[in-house]
Amino acid sequence: MAQQFDSINESVTKYVAFEASELTYFNSILTYKRVPKKTFLLQAGEVCSIEAFIIKGCARVYYVNEHGTEVILQLAIEGWWLSDIASFHEQTPSKLYIETLEACELWILTPTTKELLLKSMPKFERFFRLLVQRNLSVMQNRLCQTIAQPAQEKYLDFISRYPSLPQRVPQHYIASYLGISPEFLSKIRKKITKK
Amino acid sequence: MAQQFDSINESVTKYVAFEASELTYFNSILTYKRVPKKTFLLQAGEVCSIEAFIIKGCARVYYVNEHGTEVILQLAIEGWWLSDIASFHEQTPSKLYIETLEACELWILTPTTKELLLKSMPKFERFFRLLVQRNLSVMQNRLCQTIAQPAQEKYLDFISRYPSLPQRVPQHYIASYLGISPEFLSKIRKKITKK
DNA sequence: CGCGACGTTGATTTGCCTCAACGATTGTGG
DNA sequence: CCACAATCGTTGAGGCAAATCAACGTCGCG
């Protein structure tokens, strides 16, 4: 089990320098969870009760609008965090779905355990702030892309940024992430391979 | 000058409960700045050296892509914060521009003063985390909107969300914020008023 | 006054969507 | 272990929302 902590500890120390003892305490707060493929960690209407670090596996976070159209907000693999932060912190109903695409191993924080962690080790406030900041940056880039780039460039950028994802997740999810129709993505791919 | 602090203090206490003494210290860290209309607080290529709270006035944050197309990431008025957080924290060159649209009065934090604040009053870590979280939420909503809504609905949603902005900022900036052409926004508005 | 920034309008074009049909693959229950 | 259903990707035809381009009116300002 010990090596299970390696990936998450490596990930947090990328943002903030923690002592071994601090990490040990941090690790003691976490709950380990194993979930099968196609499992919902969150559904619209529920209050989000987890902040989950992916040790192994793959998931998607998505929104369904009033017309029934899905928009994928996040395609996450090992090393990423899953949550609806707004719902988690304000304990308000979420509008998002979080579904595993592969069997997953996760480290879980709940509102209670996270609050406990932050109370006892305020240094983690900084970690989570930096984590959210990075997410915000990613989001900003994506919004610029989505608005100002044609579909083909969005796709090329996507595969260069996340080269492992096309081999792991169904293509129509990538289309939804990029904000284009699956049929059109298929046509783009055809055009690209021709060259 | 004292009442100048009212708006920013009200804003921070919305997220975290601070004592009067804590706010007094916080206020002593801030630098007051007054800038005219059409002033750049940040230009692409520079490292962002400020995190600015708008006391009075209005500004835009935008990105220019390789084709020369502008995308407006933020239209900010009184009570909002302006910055490129990624550039500010990692001291890396920004890709963004921040330009005042009206004469502005600002409270400024620099990397140095912010670090000083966080060192001496770690409680502010929490405030800034919650602030960034809220920004992230706004961004997520906007991305969903941008991808899944037709232009007219995006515009109607915008004016109901920010009713004061259309009267303050040129219309083509709103078009850029929504990711549509200024001509098309004009046509949408015509169609709406007809009804 | 004259220039530049801004909004409007119409004509034309286009990037992308929708719909429908069709293989290929996977998985599942009898 | 096979049959059949789902799920997924591809392809083509046709349509539409929104972009582009160009011309014009208006306003505020140096």
- The angle that helices A123-148 and B123-148 make with each other, rounded to 10 degrees, is 20
Nearest by Cα to A137 from B88, B43, B170: B88
pLDDT (tens digit per residue) in A15-45: 999 999 999 999 999 999 999 999 999 999 9
- Inform me whether the C-beta atom of residue A194 falls under 8 Å from chain B C-beta atoms: no
Specify the pLDDT at position A3: 67
Q: Which of A67, A129, A143 lies closest to B125 in CB terms?
A: A129
Placement of tokens 């949603």 in the chain = B157
Which of B133, B153, B181 should we substitute to test contact with A (largest number of A Cβ atoms within 10 Å)?
Answer: B133
- The Cα–Cα gap between A64 and A149 comes to 23
Nearest by Cα to B71 from B159, B166, B139: B139
Nearest residue to D8 via alpha carbon and C1'? A170
Set out the domains of chain B in order of their start, with CATH numbers: 4-120 (2.60.120.10)
pTM of the model as a whole: 0.94
Q: DSSP secondary structure string, A175-195? A: HHHHTS-HHHHHHHHHHHHH-
CB A129 within 8 A of CB B128: yes
Q: How many CB pairs under 8 A join A and B?
A: 92
- Inform me whether the C-beta atom of residue A151 falls under 8 Å from chain B C-beta atoms: no
Answer whether A132 sits within 8 Å of B136, measured CB to CB. yes
What letter would DSSP give residue B149? Answer: S
In the complex, which nucleotide's C1' lies nearest to the CA atom of residue B150?
Answer: D17
pLDDT (tens digit per residue) in B101-140: 999 999 999 999 999 999 999 999 999 999 999 999 999 9
Distance in Å, residue B63 CA to nucleotide D23 C1':
30
Is the confidence at residue B195, as pLDDT, over 80? Answer: no
Instruction: Report residue B32's pLDDT band, with 50, 70 and 90 as the boundaries.
Output: very high
Find and list the nucleotides of strand C having atoms within 7 Å of a protein beta carbon: 5-11, 15-20
Is the confidence at residue A63, as pLDDT, over 80? Answer: yes
